[in-house]
Structures are given as C-alpha cells and as structure tokens.
Amino acid sequence: MSHSTCRALLVVSLLALCTACGHSRKRSGVHGGPMGHLELLTYGRELYDLRCLPCHGPHGKGDGPAAAALQPKPRNYADKAWQDSVTDQRISQAIVDGGKGVGKSQLMPPQSDLRDDPEAVKAIVTMVRSFRPK
Ligand code: HEC
C-alpha cells in the first residue's frame, strides 16, 4: 500500500470514530414541526462541521485539512456547474450511502446512522446548497 493511501485510510477511520461518538439525537423544528430554512441551516452547519468539514473544507471547496491525503479530491460545492447538475436526492444518497452509493470513491464515507433521520440529512443538504455561488 502506498504511503498516501495509507494516510488516507487512517484519516477515514479516524473520522468514522469521530462521527460514531458525535451521534446525533433526532431533532425537529420549533413546536415539534418540520424545520424552517434557518433552523435547517443552523443544524446543518453543526452536522457539517463535525462530519464533512475535515474533507470538504470550511467553505465547501474540497480543501479541508484531510483533503491533502485524498485522491480523488473531495467535491468542491462552490462549483456552480456541479450545483446545477446535481439533485437534492443524489446529495442525500451520497450522504447516507457514501461515495460507493452514487458510483464514486469509497473515500467518501457513508453516514449510516442518518438513514432514519431525514431531517438531519435535509439539514446537511441545505448546508451543501448554501455553498453555491450566487
Ligand atoms: C474522509 C473525507 C470525506 C468526508 C468526511 C466527507 N466526504 Fe464527501 N467526498 C469525499 C471525496 C473524496 C469525494 C469525491 C468522490 C469522487 O469524486 O469519487 C466526495 C464527494 C462528495 C459528494 C459528491 C457526490 C457526487 O455525486 O459527485 C458529495 C455530495 C459529498 N461528498 C458530500 C459530503 C457530505 C455532505 C459530507 C458530510 C456528511 C461528506 N461528503 C463527508 C470525501 C469526504
């Protein structure tokens, strides 16, 4: 195994550990209803910082601290053409099933614990969409 592959695997397994202990309690909006846009964004930011930022970066540009060790590089969400080409459905699937769920690299880890938490997935999708350049 090459040195960089080895480092990438280490990063991925460390992240898997982090997300395992950062397991989210299910949340809903004020009064138990569905979350509004702002609530989704706030919740999405929290989940993103914990689960996605290390690879996708603070501004979604695919340049997080772990990205250097990864090949292919994490998706840059600030890419307008990509934002326009991808559906919310596909982003949700990439989140829950990881790269291999959408025919991409396995270096993109699945968030299997969110499978039964559509509100959390929606919050992360909202966050990913917020990186689209105007
Ligand atoms: C360990 C690093 C890592 C983490 C953590 C990670 N990703 Fe990724 N992600 C990647 C890599 C690498 C790719 C590129 C895969 C490819 O191009 O084959 C990718 C690709 C994607 C894509 C593009 C899929 C497509 O159809 O083009 C989306 C969407 C995505 N990630 C969302 C997320 C979200 C949201 C999170 C947090 C819940 C997250 N990723 C966490 C590494 C990561």
pLDDT band with cut points at 50, 70 and 90 for residue 10: low
Q: How many CB atoms lie within 10 A of CB 60?
A: 24
Do residues 132 and 80 make contact, with C-beta atoms less than 8 angstroms apart?
yes
pLDDT of residue 25: 73
* Ligand 1 pocket check for 122: Cβ under 6 Å: no
Residue 113 confidence (pLDDT): 97
Cα 50 to Cα 71: distance, rounded to the nearest angstrom: 21
* Cα distance between residue 24 and residue 21, in whole Å: 9
pLDDT on residue 80: 98
Q: Ligand 1 in contact with 105 (CB < 6 A)? A: yes
User: What is the model's pLDDT at position 74?
Assistant: 98
Q: Which token pair is 111? A: 């968030």
31 pLDDT band, cuts 50/70/90, is confident
Please tell me the distance between residue 34's alpha carbon and the centre of ligand 1 in angstroms: 26
Amino acid letter, 15: L
pLDDT at 27: 87
Whose alpha carbon is nearest atom 2 of ligand 1? Answer: 55
What are the tens digits of pLDDT across the range 73-131?
A: 999 999 999 999 999 999 999 999 999 999 999 999 999 999 999 999 999 999 999 99
